[in-house]
Structures are given as structure tokens and as C-alpha cells.
A and B are shown apart, each in its own frame.
Chain A
Amino acid sequence: MAVTTDHTRAVADGAHSHSFGTGAVPQGSRAERLTSFDLADIPVPSGREEEWRFSPVARLQPLFSETLAASGVQVTVTAAPEVKVETVGRDDARLGTAGKPGDRTALTAWNAFAEATVVTVPAEAVASDVTSVRISGVSGEATAAHVLVRAERHSQAVVVLDHDGVATVSETVEIVVEDGAHLTVVTVQDWADGAVHASSHRARLGRDAKLKHVVVTFGGDVVRITPDAEFTAEGGEVEMVGLYFADADQHQEHRLFVDHAVPSCRSRVTYKGALQGQGAHVVWVGDVLIRAEAEGTDTYELNRNLVLTDGARADSVPNLEIQTGEIEGAGHASATGRFDDEQLFYLMARGISEVEARRLVVRGFFAELIHEIGVPSVEERLLASIEAELEKSMSVITGAPVEAAEVTA
């Protein structure tokens, strides 16, 4: 058994917590967090609740409502030939099988949706192409959306969810990975200004199932994504990768929960973000629960933030809860740092201009993670998006020199 918590890179991450022990359940244990399909069980948050304390609840208010429309987004699917796509009513028995909503927006999304998009990768099928689900905002009306991605036994596929336009939407993405299936789900939030997006991703993994879950957030005023992954049989493996880039006044929040409820599963979480501009705010919370039954668990989570300018704020809270001593390994690391002036000096001392040097460093910060995604079309788009973000910020960068960045945790 090896329990490692790596704090060597932990800088400016005050709200950092972990708890150990097989004895008493620690206060606020994820094991005790209420989940429900009943709207009455989880009231409208005030903003003081643990899971909302970093969020701009006022801007999310429309999504707390029990009545949400269906008209705010348009869903278009381009599927690989092996993959089946349906639009079904809310009474379809396959819906709601990947776990229950765990917070108010997840619940309102579940409560209000009329139709769901179901993407099925049939048993044994190996998709020959990426399946693309485009969720386009068409009006600002508060809307519910529901997508279910099912990878049946021993199937393999890549599904990319794209979000664009302007919308106010509470979304559920259910992900079911059956025994032996290998599924990659990529969700890209590239909304236009004005969009407010809450999304509950709930994934369930069967025996020897593998899920690569990739979250990419660039655009939108408020984006709050809560990916949950739950293992239901031994041999499951989840790799959760996230990449985000926040500009002035954007709020980007990613709250993950990995539930090691059974023995011998593996999870890896790697989220990296850059932020720039007044009022840019990113939040990363990574809860990993290793239940008493989950012997042989192997988990590691990491979050890194690169603060490019003054006035931007990053909150990073890894939280590892271990209820058994019989594990393979468990660790986490979190670091939020401002742009490294020594790197800048080194590159500039080789004749490279400041703008170019910053570009190199930021690209370098994301490079490794991008290559981990493993979907070439997504990787290319990502590199282009990062270039565009950097382009946006050149005025910030070439303007006044950056003073000490405010890094709050």
C-alpha cells in the first residue's frame, strides 16, 4: 500500500483539504452528500452551501427554476456509421440510470427536460469515426437539455459534445460505459458571450470499462460543470482531463467527483487552466472518495492554474477521502502560480520577444495535456483556440507590465 499526497507543488491553494482514516466518517463526506430525483429534496441555493460557495449564484438563478423550456438550444448529431442516435421522451427506461442529480441545477435539468438525445454504441461495435453532438444556443430562455451516451459491452467510440452560440441552459450528460467498453467523451464549451451553462455529467462504469472524459472550456459568461464518475465493478478505469482558459469576467467552474465504490479501479484526473483579465475566475474542486470496500484503488488528481495577469482569481480544492488502508496509491497535487518571470527572462535573453515568449510558455503549459486527449481533430481545434485566446490577450500583455498577480484560494 502506498498513500502519497504530493504537496510539493501546492502553492497558493489554501482551501486544500484531505482526510484519512477508516474510522469515523469525516464531516462533509462525499459519501453523505444528498442525491435525488425529487425537486423538493434540494432547494434553491443561497450561495453559502459548500458546493456553491465559489459560484455566482445570482447569474445562475434562472437555472434554479423548476420550469425550464426546451427551446433555448438546438441539438444536431453527426454520428459515426456504427453509432445509433435517437430522440426519446423522458419516460424512456434507459434514462436516469447513471446516477442521481447531486445539486440544484442537475435536479432542475432532470425535472424539466422533455426529450433526450440518446447516442448508443452497440455491443462489440468499434466506431470508425468521431460522433459529434452539437448543442447550439438559439435563445436566452432558460432551458433544460439531456444527452445520454451509452457504450454497450466491448464497444469503442469517441463522442464530442460541442456547445456554441448564446444560451442559458441546465444540461445533463449521462454516460454509461458497459463491461469492457472503451469510450471517450469530449465536451467543449465554446459559447459566445452572455451564455450561462450548468452541466451535470454522470458516468457509470462497468467491469473493465474505460472512460476518457475530456472537458474543454473557453467561452461563455458562466460555465459550471460537475462531472461525477462512479465505478460499479472491478477493473474500471477513468481518465478525466480538463483544460480551460478564462478571460475577464468569465466564471469557469469544474467540480469533479470520483466515487471508488468497488475494489481495483483506477482514476486519473488532470485539469489545467490559464486565466487573464480583471474578474476572470476559475474554480476547480476535485473530490475523490475511496470507500471502505474499494481495496486496491489507484488514484491521482492534479490541478494547475497559470495566472497570466492581475485581477484574475483561481480557487483550487483537491479533496481526497480514504476509508480503507488497502489501496494501491492515492495522491493529489494542486498548484496555482503566476507567470514565471524567470522563464520569460531566459527566453528573452535568447532574443525572443516578450509576446512570443509568453506564447511559448502558455502553449508549453498546455502541450502535454493536449496530447493526452488522443483525438486529433479535437487537439488541432484546441491548439487553434489557445492561439486565439492568446491573440485576445496580446493587448493585455504588451500593455503595462504585469505586477504580482492576485492568487486567492
Chain B
Amino acid sequence: MSTLEIRDLHVSVETKEGPKPILRGVDLTINSGETHAIMGPNGSGKSTLASALAGHPKYQVTAGTVTLDGADLLAMTVDERARAGLFLAMQYPVEVPGVSVANFLRTAKTAISGEAPALRTWGKEVKGAMENLRMDTAFAERSVNEGFSGGEKKRHEILQMELFKPHFAILDETDSGLDVDALRVVSEGVNRAKETTDVGVLLITHYTRILRYIKPDFVHVFVDGRIAEEGGSELADRLENEGYDRFLAAKTA
């Protein structure tokens, strides 16, 4: 059993005018096997939280701690965090021209598990995982994310989640831009990972639709750089009906 513990996290983003505070004291604990949904208005800092956890150099932690099973995550480099078991499915996955998906997956898997995967079984595993996600296996020979459609990029992120078997996965709007079938296929992928690896999931979304496939144990409302309210999955339905007015009004009051 693993625990990812975020305590009083303050994060600023680098801008031309200097650092701009975005996260203002985030507290969140995720255990293996748990699924936490984060919902909140545009610009409230959800992606900032995801990027800061992964160690994006643009974001500076100004206060607070993040530990993974007691180890100081914030002291680790980006690649060390990934090797420690953290995975981020990005809202906007980056294109890497000239690097094939097959080469990328093998290189990353080798880095994460500390040894090259057995050639024959790995090939089968990749092929199987792609088929499960209804990805044409021709994608293996294409450059990473280059020319992928929005939905294809998202499937490719979940493909990695399934293959790399992280302890904790942050899914930043993985559901955005997916058609109904893709949403189901991708959700099944996440659920497979949950079943087989007991991964803890932090699922950032704007829609309750995906929560019908991936049942959250907790729902957090993210407003203005911090968690404004927490509840069970019923909170998501309430947000869908009422919007965020209640929280925003409270803020300006």
C-alpha cells in the first residue's frame, strides 16, 4: 500500500512579470486503489497541481510538502519522480518528432523498471494493450504524438499508464475531446490498470460523464488554487446541476 501526501502546497508559475502564485495551500492524501476526482472552473489551478507534482520546471513550489511513501517527492528530478511511481497523463501531450512510439515506450519502460523488458513478451504486451485501447498497431511506428488527433493522444497517454504500471496516476482532462466510444475505451483502460495494479488515481475533469465509468471514492472541488469542498461521488452530480457559483460567490463575498 502506497500513499501520496500533499500538504499545504503553494505553487507559483514563472511569468514575464515574475512569479505568479497559483496554488494557495492544497491538502490531499491519496492511497493505493483510491480514485479522487478533482473538478473546478477553468483557470483554478488543476493543471498547475498536476504539473507541479510531476516537476515541470515552470512551476515553483513556494511552500508545503509532497511525499510518496514518506519520501520527499519535491526533492526529486522529473525522471526520478516517474521512476518512483508517479505518472501524469497530460492535458496536452507533447509531440516528439522522429522518435517512434515503439522506441519511446521501450526506452521509458526500461528507465522505469531499471532493466530492458524481455523482447518477445514486451512486443506482445504493447500490441495487446494497443488493441485493448482500439489503437491501430501502426501507431507503434509513428513519431510520438506527431499528427495524432486529440483523442489518439489521450489513448496514447492511457496506453502508457497501462504499460508503465505507476503507483499513482494523475489524469489531467483525459476525457476532454473524446467521443463516446473513445471515452468508454479509455475508461476501461483506467479501470484495468486499477484492477491489476491497485494504482491510486487523481482524475481531473470537467464532466460527470467519465465518473459514470470510473467511480470516484472522493470528489474535490478546486477553486482559486485550493480545495474548497470535498465529498463523495454525489458531489459531482450536484456540481453538474448547480455549477461553481456557490464557491465563486463565497470567494467574492
Contact = CB atoms under 8 A, between A and B. Distances in A.
Interface stretch (A11-19, A32-40, A92-100, A351-359): A351-359
Interface in A331-369: 340-343, 345-354, 356-357, 360-361, 363-368
A335 to B, nearest CB: 12
Given A360-B96, A361-B99, A364-B98, A350 B57 contact: no
Given A352-B107, A361-B99, A364-B143, A346 B94 contact: yes
B115 to A, nearest CB: 12
Nearest to A367: B98
B154 interface: no
Nearest to A370: B98
Contact of B108 (A345, A350, A354): A350
Contacts of B79: 348-349, 351-354, 357
B146 to A, nearest CB: 10
A361 B107 CA distance: 13
A367 B57 CA distance: 28
Contact of B112 (A346, A351, A360): A351
A361 B164 CA distance: 21
B88 interface: yes
Contacts of A342: 94
A249 B161 CA distance: 44
Contacts of B211: none
Contact of B96 (A341, A353, A354, A364): A364
B102 interface: no
A363 B78 CA distance: 22
Interface residues of B, number: 30
Contact of B107 (A341, A356, A366): A356
Contacts of A352: 79, 82, 107-108, 111
A345 B56 CA distance: 7
Contact of B94 (A345, A353, A365): A345
B162 to A, nearest CB: 13
Q: Tell me whether chain A's interface is mostly helix, strand or loop, or mixed.
A: helix
B96 A351 contact: no
A363 B98 contact: yes
B96 A346 contact: yes
A368 B98 contact: yes
B99 A364 contact: yes
A350 B82 contact: yes
A146 B160 CA distance: 55
Contacts of B160: 350
Contacts of B95: 343
Contacts of B54: 345, 349
A153 to B, nearest CB: 39
A354 B107 CA distance: 12
A404 to B, nearest CB: 12
B83 interface: yes
B54 to A, nearest CB: 5
Interface string B156-198: 0000100010000000000000000000000000000000000
Given A341-B57, A360-B104, A364-B99, A351 B94 contact: no
A343 B108 contact: no
Interface string B56-94: 110000000000000000000111011100011010011
Contacts of B143: 364
B58 to A, nearest CB: 8
B117 interface: no
B99 A360 contact: yes
B129 to A, nearest CB: 15
Contact of A348 (B78, B90, B93): B78
Contacts of B164: 350-351
Contacts of B56: 345
A348 B97 contact: no
Contacts of B94: 340, 342-343, 345-346
A342 B95 CA distance: 9
Nearest to B81: A349
Given A341-B57, A349-B88, A352-B111, A364 B82 contact: no
Q: Kindly list the 7 A-B residue pairs having the minimum CB-CB distance in the complex, ordered from nearest.
A: A364-B98, A351-B82, A350-B108, A351-B111, A348-B78, A346-B94, A351-B112
Given A350-B108, A350-B111, A351-B83, 18 more contacts: A340-B94, A343-B95, A345-B57, A347-B104, A348-B55, A348-B78, A348-B82, A349-B90, A350-B82, A350-B104, A351-B164, A353-B79, A361-B99, A363-B99, A364-B97, A365-B98, A366-B98, A367-B98
13 contacts: A343-B96, A345-B54, A345-B78, A346-B96, A348-B78, A349-B81, A349-B87, A349-B90, A350-B108, A352-B82, A356-B107, A360-B103, A367-B98
Interface of B: 54-57, 77-79, 81-83, 87-88, 90, 93-99, 103-104, 107-108, 111-112, 143-144, 160, 164
